[in-house]
Amino acid sequence: MGTAMTVVELRDFLAREFPQSPVAIDTVARHHASVRQRIGPAQLRPGGTVSGPTMMALADTAAYVAILAMIGPVALAVTTNLSIAFMRKPAANADLIADARLLKLGRRLAVAEIRLHSEGDESLVAHATVTYSIPPR
């Protein structure tokens, strides 16, 4: 079984449904997605590190993209839980990358693990788990 949505379809869907999202989709594959966000002054907090809300939103979006890549364009799939551990300071001058892997994809719930790192450095800056509720189809 392949993906239900291609990268191009997912990009179009996010642009249409979430035009405010700064996240770019790099790749999707079976049970996996990689997304990125450019980091600039608006994403930094005092001390020159990427803000927690920026990292949480990127992790959440990565999970959403990985899920939609498998189930198709379900705009009303929603986050029911997000847990994140901040490991080290991300680079303030590099894109932030989030790699999501689906751990469970059921009819009503999906669980994803997301690993975040700065572009050019594979060191983990944050690790998240996200649970989504999938509405009945």
CATH of 7-133, one of 3.30.499.10, 3.10.129.10, 3.10.180.10, 3.60.20.10: 3.10.129.10
- Cα dist. 135→26, 30, 73, 86, 129 in Å? 26, 21, 12, 30, 20
Q: Specify which residues 110 forms β-bridges with.
A: 105, 132
Half-sphere exposure of 81 (CA within 13 A, CB side): 8
pLDDT band at 2 (very low <50, low <70, confident <90, very high): low
What are phi and psi for residue 80, nearest 5 degrees? -110, -20
pLDDT tens profile 7-20: 999 999 999 999 99
| pLDDT the model gives residue 1 | 46
Mean pLDDT of 56-75: 97
What percent of the chain stands above pLDDT 90?
94
pTM score: 0.95
Domain ranges of the chain: 7-133
pLDDT tens profile 74-116: 989 999 999 999 999 999 999 999 999 999 999 999 999 999 9
